[in-house]
Structure 1
């Protein structure tokens, strides 16, 4: 029996969160109305002023304490993640540990990145002292996904909080319990004001958050939904940061470490049941090592299995409707002449999708062009890395990518049209808190993580302060013709050289 999508148990009141492995009800949560959401945003407005008033040191201390609570209760959090997503405890721990690292980094570096900085005023304005600092936006709305319900939303929440904003968080309807756990833990450390609030429900609740007067929306999810959010936010000129889907490639050069590349491909394609926006979906391999590489991937894939038992490497497909997409992409690839060297259409069940490795798949097939978001991967032979780059870039997506090459890694990475690239290791950019995370094209825009992530949730404030009266008064109707002539002469000397 296939799990059904959560629905309100009483229309307009509550809904159940279900285990995708068993259909067991693991929690019941409110369906917050537009009025509820607006009330949350209104209360967050006052909370934001108080939170900003703590200053960088005060906020860093609270974030440090929150990090400590999450760390000490890590097994409890991981169990909630497993209950709602079905993923193994070890995978839940991995995403939580990475999130903890981001909390630590954002709190520690916010002052340095966002605090007041001096700027050069230039020769003509040398009587001015120029500074810039980054002020919080106010209230940020975060709409999170279900596939990594700790790591991904905290990539926005933490950086927004460190920048001085209050946050209203709407988790996926598939993982409301994870969202509640995180917000409750924060409230223990920040009991004075509702700096981080939770609203739960379905798409209507998310839409209400977009229109509730927040100062920015951070969304992670599908490209189609991201476009709808942008259209709605445009009505009020509410800025957005969109982290959408991906069709991430791996390039394997002739001199690559094939064992490492095969291991990265298998893990990147199948971990979390392939439900990873930066997961491996396409591989382009130099013709000289293609057959050997495929053999290694096949060998490493044989013992990978989906299930709910402790020996399974990954869990069920969390969103039941995705099973049909995975099945369709595999079928289309095979009908077009592709071959499944591992798995195939029959590997997709009513809860779990076992690994599928496809070769000889045409580049215009759905399995190559569209995001599958399941435990499948296509492997294609290319004559050289120029062809690999061309094919890797021939997509409307541009999120993550990986290159395996001993001699040309940096060169190839720089040629890929993606927001992030890992060289000789899988998805390593996601674990480095100082690096920005985000994509181009249909993968979205804006950045979370790193200095760019802090600035994403702040507005720049420029200040020019006159230190002394300038010998040349330029901004006055009383200025003399001789002043204009002198300015023209000076600017010619400074900038008129051929």
Structure 2
């Protein structure tokens, strides 16, 4: 099964050998790279396999030395990398620098906490096995494949790369075909720190290259992208029983309760919906607003949306095909009785911030991921109605709640992997929090302790300290041992059973 891709290809023979990345703002070719075929991908994985034992053998402290040096390089050259991000994605330099800085923060956290989270530790053996000494540690998996997206081409793949490296794995990274120069820059910076071992490598190309990585025998595959492509990744990895972590699409909502600070809620909704031209997997695409504050919220949101300028506050659509998706969603919403209070016109890749109201819940702009600078707003009569509408989506990535009294209560009832109360998107910037969704939004987690363990495998070791007072794991066990075993279990657990019977 081949993963899909939609980027221009330069044909130098009967088969394409190279491909171009473009500056979406100007349309100019920014860089040209060779397409790595299945043989090239396999060779990269084999090199990573050869380096894996060396990298794992360094231990947490040894690996940390190189990761800290890489982090320092990224920090010193943050503006240089931001320039490359701007050139390949079109996002403003300030947003690019924000993305790079967040990635550096995650790299620092993963490096610092890897030993504490993954290192060997003693665990209780319990009363029954008190004569045993039990330990658990989390060992590197070996080689991890990472397939990154184009919307946050530094921050998002680093959420897998940094944690996988800190856990002791080597990595083969395939960036999006829309951002190969960014991926190349990251890997080249690592090679400056560690030039002699293939700990982090890059492969470039389209869906065929990604498919080859999925079936190459890597020990785990981390993918970020659309739900549709994520399902293809899962199917391809299933051929070799390769475990996956998939961060897929979202249709996140913001719930604005009756007691919310409307000004702050509208400001947050605008940022969550329109930042990066809406090309954010955890972007806010739906708003459910209590009827008591609905009119004020809509007025404030429209005011905010009108002040946002495409080409100034955010760039163009990085992927040209997304323009038609956004146009289709807006047109469908209006055809079904919705109204665009601002924006709504899709003439080129610079799409204006669009606020849609009176949109039915079965419209594409409500059910499907738009991935553009749009938001639908619906009036609700209660927080519970907003919760029910939010949870009706097949997606469940992130969410936001604005309420002075009931924010946590509402957040606990929302079906999503992450929820921010009186803020939006902030959980992505907190390295200690796991990041991921439920339902059609993906499998597994990156970031935090869960993200480190995602790229490691638990190893349990038990050592007998003394002979057991009651040996039940032997064919020498007889009726006396069986009776004593029954008495022991009854003594340890029988009181709880008696208590439950009385209830």
Q: State the alpha-carbon separation in 2 of the partners of residues 158 and 194 from structure 1.
A: 15
Q: Deviation string for 1:387-441 (max 9, x for gaps)?
A: 0000011110000000000101110000000000011111110110000000000
Match of 2:493 in 1: 495
Q: Deviation string for 1:460-481 (max 9, x for gaps)?
A: 0011100111122221112232
Correspondence for 1:140 among 135, 138, 144: 144
Residue 9 of structure 2 contacts residue 16 of structure 2 at CA under 8 Å; is this kept in 1?
no
Match of 2:7 in 1: 5
Q: How far is the alpha carbon of 1:117 from its aligned partner? A: 1.4
Match of 1:395 in 2: 393
Q: State the alpha-carbon separation in 2 of the partners of residues 8 and 401 from structure 1.
A: 41
Q: Deviation string for 1:104-141 (max 9, x for gaps)?
A: 00000000000011111111111000110000000000
Match of 2:314 in 1: 314
Q: State the alpha-carbon separation in 2 of the partners of residues 74 and 112 from structure 1.
A: 29
Q: State the alpha-carbon separation in 1 of the partners of residues 189 and 261 from structure 2.
A: 43
Q: State the alpha-carbon separation in 1 of the partners of residues 470 and 361 from structure 2.
A: 65
Displaced runs of 4 or more, over 2 A: 8-12
Residue 114 of structure 1 contacts residue 163 of structure 1 at CA under 8 Å; is this kept in 2?
yes
Q: State the alpha-carbon separation in 1 of the partners of residues 173 and 8 from structure 2.
A: 19
Match of 1:50 in 2: 54
Q: How does 1:61-460 map to 2 (within 5 A)?
A: 61-307=65-311, 312-344=312-344, 347-460=345-458
Q: How far is the alpha carbon of 1:217 from its aligned partner? A: 0.4
Q: How far is the alpha carbon of 1:496 from its aligned partner? A: 1.9
Residue 8 of structure 1 contacts residue 31 of structure 1 at CA under 8 Å; is this kept in 2?
no
Q: State the alpha-carbon separation in 1 of the partners of residues 271 and 396 from structure 2.
A: 20
Alignment size in residue pairs: 489
Q: How far is the alpha carbon of 1:321 from its aligned partner? A: 0.8
Q: State the alpha-carbon separation in 2 of the partners of residues 179 and 8 from structure 1.
A: 20
Residue 9 of structure 1 contacts residue 16 of structure 1 at CA under 8 Å; is this kept in 2?
no
Q: State the alpha-carbon separation in 2 of the partners of residues 332 and 12 from structure 1.
A: 37
Q: How far is the alpha carbon of 1:8 from its aligned partner? A: 3.2
Q: How far is the alpha carbon of 1:302 from its aligned partner? A: 1.2
Q: How far is the alpha carbon of 1:175 from its aligned partner? A: 0.1
Q: State the alpha-carbon separation in 1 of the partners of residues 267 and 490 from structure 2.
A: 61
Q: How far is the alpha carbon of 1:492 from its aligned partner? A: 1.2
Return 5+ residue gaps in structure 1 as ranges: none
Q: How far is the alpha carbon of 1:489 from its aligned partner? A: 1.2
Q: How far is the alpha carbon of 1:46 from its aligned partner? A: 1.4
Q: State the alpha-carbon separation in 1 of the partners of residues 479 and 196 from structure 2.
A: 61
Matched position secondary structure for 1:75: helix
Q: Deviation string for 1:323-356 (max 9, x for gaps)?
A: 1110010011111111110011xx2122211111
TM-score w.r.t. the length of structure 1 is 0.97
Q: Deviation string for 1:375-397 (max 9, x for gaps)?
A: 00001100010100000111100
Match of 2:3 in 1: none
Residue 144 of structure 2 contacts residue 222 of structure 2 at CA under 8 Å; is this kept in 1?
yes
Matched position secondary structure for 1:488: helix
Residue 437 of structure 1 contacts residue 447 of structure 1 at CA under 8 Å; is this kept in 2?
yes
Q: State the alpha-carbon separation in 2 of the partners of residues 166 and 349 from structure 1.
A: 44
Q: State the alpha-carbon separation in 2 of the partners of residues 226 and 302 from structure 1.
A: 35
Once the two structures are overlaid, the 10-residue window that deviates more, 183-192 or 211-220, is 183-192
Q: How far is the alpha carbon of 1:41 from its aligned partner? A: 0.3
Matched position secondary structure for 1:50: helix
Q: Deviation string for 1:29-51 (max 9, x for gaps)?
A: 11001000000001101111111
Return 5+ residue gaps in structure 2 as ranges: 1-5, 499-503
